[in-house]
Amino acid sequence: MNRLLKQINIGAVSVFMMFSMFANAAELPDFTKLVEKASPAVVNISTEQMVKTKAVAEDGNPQIGQNSKELNEFFRHFFGQQPFNGGDSQAPEESERSSLGSGFIISSDGYILTNNHVVKGADVIHVSLNDRREYTAKVVGTDSRTDLALLKIDAKDLPTVKMGDSDKLKAGQWVLAIGSPFGFDHTVTAGIVSATGRNLPSDNYVPFIQTDVAINPGNSGGPLFDLNGEVVGINSQIYTRSGGFMGVSFAIPTNVAMSVVKQLKASGKVSRAWLGVLIQDVNNDLAESFGLKRPHGALISRVMPKSPAEKAGLKSGDIILAFNGKDINHSGELPYIVGQMKAGDKVDVEVFRDGKDKTIPLTLETRPNNQKSLAQKKEDQSRLGMIVGNLPADLAKQLDIKGGVVVERVIGGVASRNGLAKGDVITMLNGQHIKGAANFSEIAKKVPNDRSVPMRVIRDGYPMFIPFKITK
């Protein structure tokens, strides 16, 4: 009898465990219907680009040079490009290079949304649909700040995705990605939302959705779906030390993306409101030093000249606690809020100043379009093998000088050969006094090749002249 009872108990336990397994399985989502419905609107994007290749050394190995920069971009944005792999010593001056990414159709007349880095610099953009139809796409507009690009193909009655409300996303929700990792079309991966509102150092205008969905090279620009089959994000970046998926992926919220799409459709570009301040987070020590009860807000470290902030009376040392009625908990929240507004909008800014709350009315303006000039300045500076910045006021006071620039980074080449180092202060170049970084760039453009020119440098508080020579 005891043996029989024991067998019955074992059987009961087995049945219980089986039902538990079925119950747990029932709690997991079934993505099959979602995938069947959404896949036709997800596209594969490949590009062609004519690029200059480096010469190949006599030993047959490629001289990569600038390709290292492209590899860094790959690790950050998994662009999908491959460096030139060598071959004959008679390397062609130009070659075609393909990149691979994903995208999705947002309207039946052929508008497609993807990442800017997927199509950046492309001469030809190919779009492949789920049913194997292929089209050549045109770029309607791009926005590098949010890493978005709007494409258009000449087609009608196309399948489309349904856009969701990314503001309703919460950590722990199931999400699903469809894309072309490593060229494997319409690959499906799933996971959960790890966090929302993530601010990354290089992307202040996007409150990213962080997920643990497996994202790899080729997923860029593809959709992130919720369980309702609605797109809540555009897969854009991964955190990686190996170049592949490590459990931390980032997607651009659809609410951010559709705001950008609206402007790209209308004018092909995105205009943003401008406040004109440099900000930093408030930690415990700073909060205590300013008299705040708890660390929050955005501390203004600098007010830009002739900016809306300066005109309204904002000052360095002010802590912005709320902007246009929205509380600022972390400094990274402010750029996104400002960027969503338009020039001419009138807002109230709540700041903490001298131990008291103060409300300052302010009118936003159009952000100056100085990206091209900044890029040109860096190009001029990199000709000298270094990147410089304006001299901080406290350092200028300490050295008792006006003007000048500080070496922020030595790239190599000319600057390295001439013995310059990070932290050096340059006050004169080729007989001309340096007023600032912009002025330095203008002077740098006119420095002749193969001839030494005088450069005055202050290092560790001691000034000296060095002969600076640019060799081709």
Per-residue pLDDT tens digits of the chain, which is 472 residues long = 555 555 545 555 554 555 555 455 557 899 999 999 999 999 999 998 775 544 444 333 343 344 444 444 444 444 333 333 333 334 444 556 576 899 999 999 999 999 999 998 888 999 999 999 999 999 999 998 899 999 999 999 999 999 999 999 999 999 999 999 988 989 999 999 999 988 776 666 788 999 999 999 899 999 999 999 999 999 998 887 777 788 899 999 999 999 999 999 999 988 888 899 988 889 888 888 888 999 999 999 888 888 999 999 999 889 999 999 999 998 888 988 898 888 899 999 999 999 999 999 999 998 776 544 444 445 455 567 788 888 888 788 888 888 889 888 777 667 877 788 888 999 988 888 998 888 888 888 888 887 778 888 998 888 887 888 777 6
Give the residue from 432, 472, 437 showing the smallest Cα distance to 454: 432
User: Taking the CA of residue 428 as centre, how many other CA atoms within 13 Å lie in the half-sphere pointing to its CB?
Assistant: 14
DSSP 446: T
**CATH among 2.40.110.10, 1.10.150.120, 2.30.42.10, 3.40.50.720 for 371-469:** 2.30.42.10
**Looking at the annotation, which residues are catalytic?**
117, 147, 220
Cβ neighbours around 341 below 10 Å, total: 16
Q: Biggest alpha carbon distance in the chain? A: 107
User: CB–CB of 319/289 below 8 Å?
Assistant: no
Q: For the chain, how far is it from start to end, CA to CA, in angstroms?
A: 98
Class in CATH terms, 41-152: mainly beta
Neighbours of 445 (CB within 10 A): 14
What span, in angstroms and rounded, lies between the C-alpha atoms of 222 and 147?
A: 13
Residue 396's CB is within 10 A of a number of other CB atoms, namely: 16
Domain extent listing, the chain = 41-152, 273-366, 371-469
The pLDDT value recorded for residue 166 is 94
Distance (Å, rounded) from C-alpha 119 to C-alpha 467?
Answer: 44
- DSSP for residue 380: H
3-state secondary structure labels for all residues of 24-66 = HHHHCCCCHHHHHHHHHHEEEEEEEEEEECCCECCCCCECCCC
CATH class entry, domain 273-366: mainly beta
- Matching fold, domains 273-366 and 371-469: yes
pTM for the model stands at 0.64
Query: 256: alpha, beta or left, given left = phi > 0 and alpha = psi -120 to 50?
Result: alpha
